[in-house]
Amino acid sequence: MSGIEGKVVAITGAGSGIGRATALLLAKRGAKVILGARRIDRLEALVATIISDGGEAICIATDVTQCADLAALVALAHERYGRLDVLVSNAGIGPVSNFDALRVDDWDTMIDVNIKGVLYGIAAALPGFRRQGTGHFINVVSTAGIKIVPSMGVYAATKNAVRTITEALRQEAGDKLRVTGVSPGFVRTDFAESMTDEVAKAAIQKRMTEIAISPDAIARAIAFAIEQPDDVDVGDIVIRPTAQD
């Protein structure tokens, strides 16, 4: 199935930012979207918006640190539509800080959300993709893993782990499945909300105010990867503000 119309797409972290923008764009272009995030109130409001605009959407509370929640997200797609065509693993957090701050709990949480959340999604969707003979994994990575800077060591490490997972999965996928990594730069989202280090938080918020681009830009990149013919696999997309170093 080429294009976007009619495809069944599950999105994690769909309640805000890149996930929300992606859900809106794909639904507008005819996809059936299954939305997952922890805050069910945001998801329900987004579903209502999509339906009122003539789109099709359903949602389920999803904590990507729980393997069972990802299984339930994928199962919902199969129960409602009989298939899942695309899994967008977008959920992620970035409570960045310098190593000297010793925010070990933040390190653990980033590993659980950013790495395990992607792996749990793969575990949930891959068997169905194999049975169908088609399927597309899209993993949201980050430019933080391309240019390493102070305070982002652990966050960048988790994103580079996802980059490695994505490339290995692409090589194992064979000629029927597609795997795409999308690396955003500074984007206007609530990324800073998870930060517990006030100095780092202020610096990120300031930089976002100065140069961040709309999450719609990332949604368009995701849509581009999805809409390609089945025999075209877009491996990597890096999308950042022109003002970003």
- Is residue 128 within 8 A of residue 224, CB to CB? The reply is no
- Is residue 136 within 8 A of residue 122, CB to CB? The reply is no
Q: What angle do CA 47, 230, 64 make, to 5 degrees?
A: 40
CA distance 176 to 170: 11
Please identify which of the residues 107, 120, 129, 155 carries the catalytic annotation. 155
155 is catalytic: yes
Q: Alpha helix locations (H) across 11-152?
A: 17-28, 40-52, 67-81, 104-110, 117-132
Q: What dihedral do alpha carbons 114, 120, 140, 18 form, nearest 10°?
A: -90
Closest residue by Cα to residue 6 from 30, 40, 36:
30
CA distance 135 to 8: 10
The residues annotated as belonging to the active site are 155
